[in-house]
Amino acid sequence: MIDLKFLRENPDVVRQSQITRGEDPALVDKLLAADEARREAIKNADALRQEQNGFGKRIGQASPEDRPALIEQSTLLKAKLKEAEATQKQAEQDVFDIQMQLGNVVQGAPAGGEDDFVVVEEVGEKTTFDFEPKDHLDIAEGLGILDMERGAKVSGSRFYFLKGLGAQLQLAMMNLAAQKAIEHGFTLMITPVIVRPETMQGTGFLGQHSDEIYYLQEDNQYLVGTSEVALAGYHSDEIIDLSQGPLHYAGWSSCFRREAGSYGKDTRGIIRVHQFDKLEMFVYCKPEDAEAQHQALLNMERDMLAAIEVPYRVIDIAGGDLGSSAARKFDTEAWIPTQNTYRELTSTSNCTTFQARRLKIRYRDEDGRTQIAATLNGTLATTRWLVAILENHQQADGSVIIPAALRPFMGGIERITK
């Protein structure tokens, strides 16, 4: 959630952020009014509380004939205080409810929606062939490394089995990502895939995209769509030590998404599925370090994409396409030859203090005062990357050349053949 002090001092900035996101700027004034009512309610309750505290001493010092009247006044004051505390509680809830509707304050992202991104750079020559290329599904099924039909039979549409060298290829990619994360000082984590509502809400995923999440009604818990959720909750309600620099974690987990609203989109193959594996980087840092950490995560993603030897581009996501937690987000998209376009493989988001404020994650500054931490995330590998690897490295005979960086994790195998 956004900082109320920042809101009071910079209402126009927050209004403009809402406009950039394509959301209602009137929420800013609504929150300002609710915050003013909350502060007035706190002031009234505090005054009554102070008055009541003085009554105990007055009654104790009063003469027997004055005491009944003072006791009666004290009783009336208690009733007024109870009412004032109820008003304060409601006012605080009103502020919280409106705060939860506001997304993070956009920082530097272009205005507009899904198609209004800005291309930051393109890396590598787009792959061309002297034969008719196949899409990733035809390649994988031809090689016997992916089974969509039986995935649907067992679990329904958008599920699959990775088989043999297909499973090994995914594990190789994930292990390479884990190795790179460790080399950059990240602590590797195997994270829970089921979380409590307060954790899911704290990361900002129960807003406008809540229909994407699998909810376990009997348990009142959620399946995660990214290990970012568990990693964000890892230090909830804590004061963390950032005196030696940011904390870096890399979470390996299966992820689950309902893909609600995507009916008819990317139904072929494994571009858009309900279950996939992912290695997610997560950073806790001081707010003033967040922008530099964001670039560092993006550079690690660039390095990983270079390792799998696919052409890609980096785009700056427009405000209207940001998740509620992100102040800014960069996507990296790989070239997919059979679609003649770039498709998202990974993203990295600077969430500033938005998630940490919800989850009460703090650190001590140089003066020993507690401050809200900043959080960032970025994907280093996920199942969808197989699409780019298979399509860009396919050969005329139907085989696929394994990128050199992945071969050590596949026993030295250089090529997948039928």
- List residues with catalytic annotation: 257, 272, 344, 347, 384
Contact predicate 31/99, CB 8 Å: yes
Question: Residue 46's CB: how many other CB atoms inside 10 A?
Answer: 12
Q: Which residues are annotated as a binding site?
A: 226-228, 257-259, 273-276, 280, 344-347, 377, 379
Question: Residue 206's CB: how many other CB atoms inside 10 A?
Answer: 17
Cα distances (angstroms) measured from residue 252 to each of 11, 193, 227, 229: 39, 10, 7, 12
**Residue whose tokens read 């990775």:** 162
Q: Which residues are annotated as a binding site for ATP?
A: 257-259, 273-276, 344-347
Please, which residues have CB within 8 angstroms of residue 375's CB and are 6 or more apart in sequence? 232, 282, 283, 284, 285, 351, 352, 353, 354, 355, 356, 361
Question: Residue 72's CB: how many other CB atoms inside 10 A?
Answer: 10
Give the C-alpha separation, 167 to 160, whole Å.
Answer: 11
- Nearest residue to 318 via CA among 99, 17, 1: 17
Tokens of 160: 């699959």
Helix (H, G, I), strand (E, B), or coil: what is residue 226? Answer: coil
* Helices within 184-318 (DSSP H only): 197-202, 228-233, 290-307
Contact predicate 86/68, CB 8 Å: no
Give the C-alpha separation, 177 to 296, whole Å.
Answer: 15
Give the Cα-Cα-Cα angle 170, 174, 180 (nearest 5 degrees). 150
Contact predicate 242/365, CB 8 Å: no
What's at 280, amino acid-wise?
E
